[in-house]
Amino acid sequence: MEPRNKTTRVDNAYDRLKEEILSSQLPPGFQAPEPDIADRLGMSRTPVREALIRLEADGLVELIPRRGARILGLSPQDFRDIYELLLVLEPVAAGRLASQPLDTVCVEKLESILDAMEEASATGDLEAWIEADDMFHLTLARMSGNSRLAGYLESLVNQVRRGRLVLLRLMKAPVDGVEVHRELLSAILSRDVDAAREAARNHREEAHTALAAIFENFRLPQI
């Protein structure tokens, strides 16, 4: 086991709130003042406040003076803006990875994630599929070695996570896309920088096109 990094209440509050937001337990639009949240988490306002500031920096909540913290949703514009960035940032991560020596442990981890994704795809477990998909992309980002890039990608992926789930549920078509991920991984493993970049870009572009169409078709103002 790891050295058990001491967990502070701020971290605790941050993790729990983030988990609840990403899992839609706290839906977008939900709003509560600091004291209420503190009571619910069983701690004082101080650590909750710091956790909320971090969540605001993550783009997950909005702190409205005298109104409390409000869980943010995604407008179509937000969705476009985020994908515009994913579309250029993920190829950078993929390209970097393809041009540097790889950690075998990480590669194994990626492959096991793909296996999990395949299983989720087979059983139709959308939530598990998205979980695996995000994990795959997050691991790639972290492996890239550019910590700022990894941080941005993590934040962006978190912001669209719940939205993707909503849109995928509206889309009746089954999700697979596992082979696209395998292509990306094999391009990286074979050290083909351009192919890796292309694969990363195409993957996000296709996903974006499909999801944006649903967003459009259902005329959703916010998800």
| Closest to a copy of itself by CB, 88 or 122 | 88
**What phi, psi does 218 have (nearest 5°)?**
-85, 0
Q: Which stretch binds a copy of itself (CB under 8 A): 13-21, 51-59, 183-191, 199-207?
A: 51-59
* Cα–Cα dist 131/87, whole Å: 20
| Closest to DNA by CB, 42 or 221 | 42
Q: Where are the alpha helices (DSSP H) in the chain?
A: 9-22, 34-41, 45-57, 76-98, 104-123, 126-143, 147-170, 178-189, 193-217
Out of 4, 6, 172, 219, point to the residue binding DNA (CB under 7 A).
Answer: 6
Mask for 83-122, x = binds a copy of itself (CB under 8 A) = -xx--xx--x---x--------------------------
DSSP 120-172: HHHHT-HHHHHHHHHHHHHHHHHHTS-HHHHHHHHHHHHHHHHHHHHHHHH--
- Given a copy of itself, DNA, none, residue 67, with its beta carbon under 5 to 8 Å by kind, binds DNA
Interface with DNA, residue 10, by CB under 7 A: yes
User: Which residue, chain included where needed, has tokens 């971090």?
Assistant: 54
CA distances from 87 to 16, 82, 140, 161, 181 (A): 30, 9, 15, 16, 15
Out of 25, 29, 39, 67, point to the residue binding DNA (CB under 7 A).
Answer: 67
CA distances from 9 to 56, 68, 207 (A): 17, 20, 37
* Of residues 23-62, those binding DNA (CB under 7 A): 33-36, 43-47, 49
- Given DNA, a copy of itself, none, residue 158, with its beta carbon under 5 to 8 Å by kind, binds none
Residues 6+ apart with CB under 8 A from 108: none
| Closest to a copy of itself by CB, 13 or 178 | 13
- Given a copy of itself, DNA, none, residue 213, with its beta carbon under 5 to 8 Å by kind, binds none
Residues forming the site for a copy of itself (CB under 8 A): 49-50, 53-54, 57, 59, 81-82, 84-85, 88-89, 92, 96, 146-149, 152, 156
Residues forming the site for DNA (CB under 7 A): 6, 8-10, 12, 33-36, 43-47, 49, 63, 65-69
